Structure 1
Amino acid sequence: MSDAAVSPAVNEDEAALATPFVKCLVRLIRAQESYSYCLWEGKSDATLLADFIVTRKKRQAIPGMGYPDPDVLSRLDMFYTTVGLAIAKRFRPVTSPIVEMKTTRTSGPCFSRSGSSSFYPDVHRFGFETFRQLGEAGTKVVDDATSATEAYRDVARA
């Protein structure tokens, strides 16, 4: 009986891990890790992507104050770098993320004004409930960017 209860979730995870966006993300993680100490060598794709899964319970436990963790910023950067790679694979323009997040010490009311503070706390909680949501979110961003690029080909080539 427990096999029947676990089987759909396992099949859903396997299907999500097989999507082109998630496979590209895994390749990027493995490529970046090969330059360091090969800590991920022999690890499964699910293990590599485990930090991208932030359940509701985990998300609520993360404080929204202070500076974002460098690991969170690294995951955010990898996600959008993968978006750029996926767009390049589909459409062949050279792409790169236009937002770069860094941990910096800011002074003053930069993040205390209404309107500018809404994005900042969300950075702390970047992640997805499941591998399926990770794949769907990445694919949606790539699809939206690709259709916008195809609609304005001249601008994209300029």
Structure 2
Amino acid sequence: MELKVLDEVKSVVIEENAVSLQLPFVKQMVVQLRAMDGYGTYDTWSDARVLDPLVLTRERRRSIPVVGDPDETTLARVRAYYNAIAQDMERRTGLMAVPVINITHEGFGRALILVGKLVAMDRVLRDVHRFGFESLDQMAEEANKIVDKACSMIDSHRVVAEL
């Protein structure tokens, strides 16, 4: 039984021809993750394989301990996610968006995206070692909600955002 669970945890959950791989935010996540790969590990990997660790099925989530410290790879995924959100905000508003991420060694922290002097997005981060999404569609949907809210804030406080 345990061997079967481990096999399900290790198996790839994103199909190579998945429609969600064509979503603009998902494509930007691939760009961000490949940009952070300093050793060239992702050079020969498909987009689905690069994104696969971000999808946490129930089996995968169960295999991650409730209490734990995030590793560097997980922290890089968190940075890539908020970098992709900031890039989408830049594309929509025409103003530079800067992500600021502070995470303790225990996996708690805060993610901010600044546009000029305006804090366009502020998120409290908890249990970063369990960072992931049920699907790529859910990841893109959540990111689009964040970007929509931030862009409306930027539009209503444009003077501050342009400082």
> Taking structure 2 as the reference length, what is the TM-score of the superposition?
0.71
What residue in structure 2 maps to residue 30 of structure 1? 34
Deviation at 1:119, TM superposition (A): 5.0
Q: Give the aligned residue type for 1:154.
A: V
Indicate conservation of the 8 Å contact 1:70/1:103, yes or no.
no
| Percent identity between the two aligned chains | 32
Residue 56 of structure 1: CA displacement? 2.0
Conserved? CA contact 1:17–1:45, under 8 Å: yes
SS of equivalent to 1:100: strand
Aligned: 1:134 with 2:144 = no
- The structure whose residues are more often helix, as a share, is 1
Name the residue aligned to 2:5.
none
Aligned partners of 1:29 and 1:65: how far apart in 2?
A: 25
Query: What's the counterpart of residue 69 of structure 2?
Result: 67
Q: Gapped runs of 5+ residues in structure 1?
A: 1-8, 106-117
Output the aligned Cα RMSD: 2.5
Cα distance change on mapping 1:42 and 1:71 into 2, 3 Å: closer
Q: Which amino acid in the other structure matches residue 120 of structure 1? A: R
What's the CA shift for 1:154? 1.1
Distance, in Å, in 2 between the alignment partners of 1:73 and 1:10 is 25
Structure 2 alignment gaps of length 5 or more: 1-13, 108-123
For residues 147 and 73 of structure 1, do their structure 2 counterparts lie closer, same or farther at Cα, with a shift above 3 Å needed? same
Cα displacement string for residues 22-64 of structure 1 (whole angstroms, at most 9, x for unaligned residues):
111111222232xx33221232111110111111222122112
The match for 1:115 is none
Question: Are residue 146 (structure 1) and residue 151 (structure 2) matched?
Answer: yes
Distance 1:91 1:104, change over 3 A: same
Considering fraction of residues, name the structure with more strand: 2
Larger Rg: 1
| 3-state DSSP of counterpart to 2:97 | coil
Q: 1:21 aligns with which of 25, 30, 40?
A: 25
CA separation of 1:104/1:129 partners in 2, compared to 1, >3 Å: closer, same or farther?
closer
Q: Which has the higher contact order (CA 8 A, sep 6+)?
A: 1
- Structure 1-normalised TM-score? 0.73
Tell me the amino acid that sits aligned with residue 31 of structure 2: R
Q: Which residue of 2 aligns with 1:112?
A: none
Q: Report what 2:126 is aligned to.
A: 120
